[in-house]
Amino acid sequence: MPKLWNDTIEAHRNAVRAATLDAAADLVAEHGPAAVTMSQIAKATGIGRATLYKYFPDVDTILTAWHERQVRSHLDELTQVRDRADPSERLDAVLTAYAVLSYQHPRFELADSLHRAAHVSQARQHLHTLIRELLVEAGSTGDLRTDVPATELATYCLHALGAANALPSKAAVHRLVAVTLSGLRR
Amino acid sequence: MPKLWNDTIEAHRNAVRAATLDAAADLVAEHGPAAVTMSQIAKATGIGRATLYKYFPDVDTILTAWHERQVRSHLDELTQVRDRADPSERLDAVLTAYAVLSYQHPRFELADSLHRAAHVSQARQHLHTLIRELLVEAGSTGDLRTDVPATELATYCLHALGAANALPSKAAVHRLVAVTLSGLRR
């Protein structure tokens, strides 16, 4: 087959995959993960059940793929925040963005098995490295405490800011970021 | 039956229950939660399988009871630390003890379902209250920041110190406590 034809098929497949993940996420948000079936997902996506099975063997695989996409998009967002920010405000900007993401996307119910999935520990590692590098960079300008290794400070930041998903408002999230940042200072 | 006899039976039952929980926890630590059976637990406890079923219907119930006992004993420990400490060092002492507990007892593998159990959210609430009250008490002596409500600071403390279970050494745990505490100061 000509390359163009293959590209078209590939684009179509990607669109079906993306629409399936969106539909599944909506259904889970509405009914909870235990109540969602392949038939419902097929219907909501607007494709046949048999077609859906050509893409995904079961609901869990769909939700894992959705979660993987979600995690990747959050990492991309944080990387963009870092790249856009002024060097002197980079750490602040990334930590704030991370806290806001934690606030807006609390771990959802079926997250237990997902949170053990390989893509999650990779993403967590990636995020830890991103924060650690920002801390090293900020440390070189002299504003941060030097009595604690950057890798431990990164672990502290990620845990402390994870509290955002338990907070009642965005104002509280910004206060949390301020408290966490002041723990990092000399 | 005379009261003494009832007391003896009750004491015996409690001892069997406690021994069962210990045996189950050891087996889980060794083989992982999925591999543990009622027969193994009965054998390790030194009682018959039929007797074990008089106490607990299944492995999950045993592990939940074990976890409940564990959580309660940690809360008791923290309360004792608070009561024994000098008022001026109370917050520091309790936060340190909590971080050390998180370091020594990382959430174990089957914790997913347990962490949704009612006793866990009660314990978390209890712990949050304990920390919040210490923060209010410490705040009245003027050393703490006043721009953030005590309830939010308590949420911050618990999350930040939860990082202890990801740290490599006790020295790192103490550095984490120092960082977390400095986030609380003016």
Q: What is the DSSP string of chain A?
A: --HHHHHHHHHHHHHHHHHHHHHHHHHHHHH-GGG--HHHHHHHHTS-HHHHHHH-SSHHHHHHHHHHHHHHHHHHHHHHHHHHS-GGGHHHHHHHHHHHHHHHS---TTHHHHTTSHHHHHHHHHHHHHHHHHHHHHHHTT-B-SSS-HHHHHHHHHHHHHGGGG-SSHHHHHHHHHHHHHHHB-
Hey, what domains does chain A have and what are their CATH numbers? Answer: 1-57 (1.10.10.60), 64-186 (1.10.357.10)
**Residue B112 — very low, low, confident or very high, per pLDDT cuts 50/70/90?**
low
Statement: residue B120 has pLDDT above 70: yes
Asked whether the beta carbons of residue B155 and residue A147 sit closer than 8 angstroms, the reply is: no
| Residues of B with Cβ-Cβ distance to A167 under 8 angstroms | 152, 155
Asked whether the beta carbons of residue A175 and residue B148 sit closer than 8 angstroms, the reply is: yes
Asked whether the beta carbons of residue B176 and residue A147 sit closer than 8 angstroms, the reply is: no
Statement: residue B121 has pLDDT above 60: yes
Rounded to 5 degrees, what are φ and ψ at A170?
A: -65, -35
Length of chain A: 186
pLDDT of residue B8: 87
Q: Tell me, what's the ipTM?
A: 0.84
Asked whether the beta carbons of residue B152 and residue A167 sit closer than 8 angstroms, the reply is: yes
pLDDT single digits (tens) A48-98: 999 999 999 999 899 889 888 988 999 999 999 999 999 889 999 999 999
Burial of B85 per CB tally in 10 Å (0-12, 13-18, 19+):
middle
pLDDT single digits (tens) A30-52: 887 788 899 999 999 999 999 99
Asked whether the beta carbons of residue B178 and residue A148 sit closer than 8 angstroms, the reply is: yes
pLDDT of residue A142: 73
pLDDT single digits (tens) A138-158: 888 878 999 999 999 999 999
**Which of A98, A179, A180, A185 is the mutation pick for testing B, counting most B CBs within 10 A?**
A179
> Which token pair is A103?
């606030």
**Which of B125, B144, B148, B152 is the mutation pick for testing A, counting most A CBs within 10 A?**
B152
For residue A112, give every residue at least 6 positions away whose Cβ sits within 8 Å of its Cβ, in sequence order, or none.
B112, B113
Statement: residue A112 has pLDDT above 60: no
**Which of A103, A155, A174, A180 is the mutation pick for testing B, counting most B CBs within 10 A?**
A155
B106 close to A (CB below 8 A)? no
| Residues of A with Cβ-Cβ distance to B176 under 8 angstroms | 148, 152, 155-156
pLDDT of residue A2: 60
CA distances to A11, A41, A180 from A21, in Å:
15, 9, 35
**Three-state secondary structure call for residue B144:** strand
Rounded to the nearest angstrom, the minimum Cα separation between B40 and chain A is 26
Mean pLDDT, chain A, as a whole number?
89
Q: Are A138 and A80 in contact (CB under 8 A)?
A: no
pLDDT of residue B181: 96
Please state at what angle helix B170-184 crosses helix B90-104, rounded to 10 degrees: 140
DSSP-based helix, strand, coil % in chain B, nearest 5: 80, 0, 20
Cα distance between residue B64 and residue B113, in whole Å: 9
pLDDT of residue B62: 92
pLDDT single digits (tens) B129-180: 999 999 999 888 878 999 999 999 999 999 999 999 999 999 999 999 999 9
C-alpha closest to that of A138 among A93, A183, A87: A87
pLDDT of residue A175: 97
**Three-state secondary structure call for residue B10:** helix
CA distances to A11, A42, A113, A175, B143 from A93, in Å:
35, 40, 31, 14, 28
pLDDT of residue A1: 55
For residue B52, give every residue at least 6 positions away whose Cβ sits within 8 Å of its Cβ, in sequence order, or none.
B20, B38, B41, B42, B45
Chain B residue closest to A166 (CA)?
B155
> Which token pair is A151?
């890798």
Asked whether the beta carbons of residue B159 and residue A160 sit closer than 8 angstroms, the reply is: yes
B108 close to A (CB below 8 A)? no
A160: nearest CB among B113, B156, B166: B156
DSSP-assigned beta bridge partners for residue B185:
B144
pLDDT single digits (tens) B50-106: 999 999 999 989 988 988 898 899 999 999 999 999 988 999 999 999 999 999 886
pLDDT single digits (tens) B123-134: 889 999 999 999
B179: nearest CB among A148, A161, A176: A148
Statement: residue B47 has pLDDT above 60: yes
Phi-psi label, residue B161: left if phi above 0, alpha if psi -120 to 50, beta otherwise: alpha
Chain B residue closest to A157 (CA)?
B160
DSSP-assigned beta bridge partners for residue A185:
A144
Helix (H) or strand (E) run with residue B91 in it? helix B90-104
Mean pLDDT, chain B, as a whole number?
89
| Residues of A with Cβ-Cβ distance to B172 under 8 angstroms | 152
A163: nearest CB among B159, B172, B179: B159
